[in-house]
Structure 1
C-alpha cells in the first residue's frame, strides 16, 4: 500500500531519526508498504527548520529511504507563542487547498495524526476528495487539553465548536487509533458511544524501538562524573525543561532530600532552564545537576546508568484518567530501572499495574521523597523485580509490535473500504 502519514509535529522525528512516525515508516516499509510522512517544516520544540526555498514543499529522504514531505509554514519560536496557532492554520490551509501538490496521486490510505484537530479534519477532507480511507490517530485529546491548560471552559463557544468537530472527525474516520488506553471510555464519557462505532476504535500507545535503544546503549556510552559515581543514588529526568513538565518540582525535591548520596540529574533544555539553574545557585543546592541537552543517541546510556527515573505529571485527573502516553516513559521502561510517576489517577496506569515503579498520589514533595526512599532502601532482590517488570513492559511497547498491529488495521480498513 501507498501510505501517507500527516502529522504536523513529526518534524522532530525526522531530525532526531526516532519517534512514532519515524519508526512506523521504518517498520511498515519492511512489510512492503511505501510510506511518506507529511509535516511542517518548522520544529515545534526547537529552532530547527527545513528550508523549502520558498516552495510550498520540500521532500527529503530519511536514512531508511522513506520520503518526508515538509510543508512550508509560518516560523515561530516559543511553544506558547500566538504565532504557533497561525502556524497550525497555515499548515491546515495549505493542505486543504493545495493537497494535489502535496499528497501523491497514487496514495491508497491516509493516516491523519493529532495534535490539532485541524490535522484530522484536513486528512478526512483530502481522503474524501481522493476517494480513499482515512485513519484518525489521536495522540492528544483536543479540546480537552486546551480546557485543562487554559482559562477556557466547556461553556466557551470555541470549545463547544471544537468538541463538535472532534465528534465529527471520529464519526467520519475509517478507523480511530488512540495512543491512550481509555479511548473508548472517553467516547462513553462524552456521550458519543451511540454515534461512533466501537469496532473501529483501536489502541496503540507510544513506544520505543528496543533494537535501536539497545544498540545505542552499547555504542554511545555517555560519560559523566555523577552518573559514573557508584556511591551516588541517581534520580534521572530527561526531556524538555518547561513549566508543563514540572521541573521546578524537582528543584523542590532536591531541597527536601537529606541524604547527600542521593542526586537529581536533569538532561534537557527549555524555557525554564536558566531560571531554575539560578534558583539552585541561590539556594546553594549541591544535590541537583542540570546537564543540558544531549544527542538522542546518548539517552539509552544515560537512563541505564540511573538508579531511578522520574516523571512529574500535572494534577489534571480529567485529562489523565484515560491513560498515559508521554514518550519518555517508554524509554524509561526500556532502561529497566524503577520509575517514580505522579499520575493523579490510577485508571489505565500500567506503570503501577505492572509493577514498573511507584505512582505517587496525592502529589506532594514529601510523598515523592517517601517513594524514593522506598526504592533506595530495597535490597538487590527487591530492585530486580522492578528491572524485570520494566523490561517485560518495554517489550509490549516495542514499535515492531506496534507496527504489526497498525499493519493489520491498515489492511482491514482498506478491505472494508473497497467492499
Structure 2
C-alpha cells in the first residue's frame, strides 16, 4: 500500500454527516478524525437538518465546529425540512448550492471527496474541485438510482432514473477515482458506464474499536430501569437501529410466536422509525409477551446494549442493488460486540458468513429464523461463542477506522 507523506487539505461532502457534538458520529466523522490525527487537514460539509430527529441541530445559516486544529465540520441550514419527497429533493438542491459555493476553508483544498448520500453532492464537489484545481473523488454509498428501484414504478421511475443515471454517467467519468462501500459495485459501474474497474476502489465502513470497548464498560445506570432489567434477566435476541421497512423487522417480531415455550428468551428491538406502529400491531394481534420495543437510544449506549445481549439480529429486504453487496455500519458494531449474529438477507457476499460471525438465512421466513435462534441458544457455549469471537477478530483485522483511513490515503496517493 503506497501512502504519500504530503499533507493534504481534504474536503468531504456528505449531506447527512453527523458528529459527537450533536449525539452522532459515523463514517466521515471517524475518517476525518483519523486523517487529521495523521497530519492532514479535514473539513466536512454537512447539513444542520437531522433527518432522523426531523429537526435542525442549529439555526445558524452556516455553523462551524472545530474538533481539533486540523478537523472541522461546516453545517448549512438547508431547507425545507423533509415533509414530502419534493421537500427532500429541494433540501438536496439547497445543500448542493451551499456546498458548491462555500469558500472559507482556510487552506486551499487539494482533495475533494463527494459522497452520495445523494448524487447532487457530486455536482457541488466537482464545482469545488475545478475552482481549487483539486483532485475529485466520488464516493458511492448507495448505487443511485438503483438503490431506489423498488420505490418507484412506471413513468415516475423512468423520469427519476433518467435524471439520476445521467448524473452517474457524467460524474463517474469526471472523477479521478471512485470509492464504493459495496464490494461488487465495480461490476455495475464497469458494465453500465464502461468505466475501467481499476478506477473503482472498494472501501467498507470501519469502527473505532477502542471507543467501542470504552463505551461497553459504561455503567448500567445509563440505561432505563426497564431496559437494564430485561437485558440482565433474559436471553436477549436484540436488534438495534432504525425501524424501517428495509430491515426485515416484521419477520423478526413474528418469529417470537414460535419461541413462546422458551420462557427465558426475549426479542428486544431498540430504535425508532416508521415501522414502529406496524410492529406494535403485530405484537398486539398475536398477544406476544416475549417481544419488547424500546425507543431510540443515544449512540454511545449501543455498545453496552449489545454487550448485554446474547444474539444480534440484522435483516434486509430484497433490493436490486444488493446483488452488488453492501457494507452496513451495524455489521461492525455487532461484530465488535463479540456476539453471534443472525443475518436475514439474500445480499450477495454476506460479510457475516465471510467472517464466520454467525449465520445468513433467507429473509421473510419467521419459522427458519426461530429455528436458528433456538439452535444457537441450545449450543451457545460452543457455537454462539465461536461466532462471536470470529466476528470480533474479523473486525479487528479488517475494519478498524485506522485501516479504512489508510485505504483512503492509498487511493489519494494514486490520484496525485
Query: Do the two structures share a fold, i.e. TM-score over 0.5?
Result: yes
**Pairing of 1:42-53 with structure 2 (within 5 A):** 42-53=49-60
CA positional deviation for 1:77? 4.7
2:89 matched to which residue of 1? 85
TM-aligned CA distance change 1:47 to 1:172, over 3 Å: same
Distance 1:292 1:13, change over 3 A: same
- Following the alignment from structure 1 to structure 2, what is the Cα–Cα distance between the partners of residues 389 and 319? 28
Match of 1:6 among 5, 13, 22: 13
The residue aligned with 1:205 is 204
Q: Which residue of 2 aligns with 1:303?
A: 306
Whether the 8 Å CA contact 1:320–1:343 is kept in 2: the answer is: no
Q: 1:82: Cα distance to partner?
A: 3.2
Q: Identify if the C-alpha distance between structure 1 residues 121 and 13 changes in structure 2 by more than 3 Å, giving closer, same or farther.
A: farther
Paired with 1:235 and 1:158, the residues of 2 have a C-alpha distance of: 39
1:185 and 1:322 in contact (8 A); partners too = yes
2:13–2:99 Cα contact (<8 Å) kept = no
Question: What per-residue deviation string (whole Å, max 9, x for no partner) do you get for residues 274-318 of structure 1?
Answer: 4533542453211001121222111111111111100110122x2
- Cα pair 1:13 1:21 within 8 Å, conserved: no
Of 132, 135, 139, which aligns to 2:134? 132
Counterpart CA distance in 2 for 1:63 and 1:291 is: 35
Q: 2:3 matched to which residue of 1?
A: none
CA–CA separation in structure 2 for the residues paired with 1:392 and 1:153: 48
Distance (whole Å) between structure 1 residues aligned to residue 122 and residue 219 of structure 2: 38
Q: Give the alignment's TM-score, normalised by structure 2.
A: 0.90
Q: Does the CA contact (< 8 Å) of 1:115 and 1:142 recur in 2?
A: no
Native 8 Å contact 2:248 2:317 kept in 1: yes
How far is 1:104 from its partner?
4.8
5 Å matches for 1:359-398?
A: 359-361=360-362, 363-395=364-396, 396-398=398-400
Check 1:71–1:379 CA distance in 2 against 1; reply closer, same or farther (3 A cut).
closer
Q: State how 1:3-402 maps to structure 2 within 5 Å.
A: 3-11=10-18, 15-53=22-60, 55=61, 57-62=62-67, 66-77=71-82, 81-96=85-100, 98-100=101-103, 103-104=105-106, 106-151=108-153, 156-190=158-192, 192-193=193-194, 196-221=195-220, 224-229=228-233, 232-258=234-260, 259-316=262-319, 318-345=320-347, 347-361=348-362, 363-395=364-396, 396-402=398-404
CA distance in 2, matches of 1:64, 1:46: 29
**Counterpart Cα distance in 2 of 1:264 and 1:296:** 20
**Change over 3 Å in CA distance of 1:284–1:154 after alignment to 2:** closer
- For 1:182 and 1:348, locate their aligned partners in 2 and report how far apart those are by CA, in whole Å: 9
What displacement does 1:128 show? 1.5
Unaligned runs of 5+ in 2: 1-7
In the TM superposition, residue 147 of structure 1 has moved relative to its aligned partner by 1.5
Q: Distance in 2 between matches of 1:220 and 1:321?
A: 41
- 1:10/1:198 Cα in 2 relative to 1: closer, same or farther (>3 Å)? same
Secondary structure of the 1:107 match is coil
State the distance in 1 between where 2:28 and 2:243 align. Answer: 24
CA distance change for structure 1 residues 237 and 379 in 2, over 3 Å: closer, same or farther? closer
Task: Give the whole-Å Cα distance in 2 for the aligned partners of 1:202 and 1:293.
Answer: 34
The alignment covers a number of residue pairs equal to 402
Aligned partners of 2:204, 2:321: CA distance in 1, in Å? 16
In 2, are the aligned partners of 1:46 and 1:77 still within 8 Å (CA)? no
Q: TM-score, normalised by structure 1?
A: 0.89
Shift of 1:385: 1.7
Shift of 1:93: 2.3
Q: Decide whether aligned partners of structure 1 residues 189 and 199 sit closer, same or farther in structure 2, where only a CA change above 3 A counts.
A: closer
Gaps of 5+ in 1: none
In 2, distance between residues paired with 1:20 and 1:284?
Answer: 40
Structure 1 pair 325–152 and aligned structure 2 pair: CA distance change class (3 A):
farther
Q: Is the 8 A contact 2:41 2:70 kept in 1?
A: no
SS at match of 2:372: helix
Q: Is the 8 A contact 2:317 2:363 kept in 1?
A: no
C-alpha distance 158-75 of structure 1, shift in aligned 2 (>3 A): closer
Q: Quick one: distance in 2 between partners of 1:75 and 1:46?
A: 15
Residue 277 and residue 363 in structure 1: after superposition, are their counterparts in 2 closer, same or farther (change >3 A)? closer
Kept in 2: contact 1:74–1:86 (CA 8 A): yes
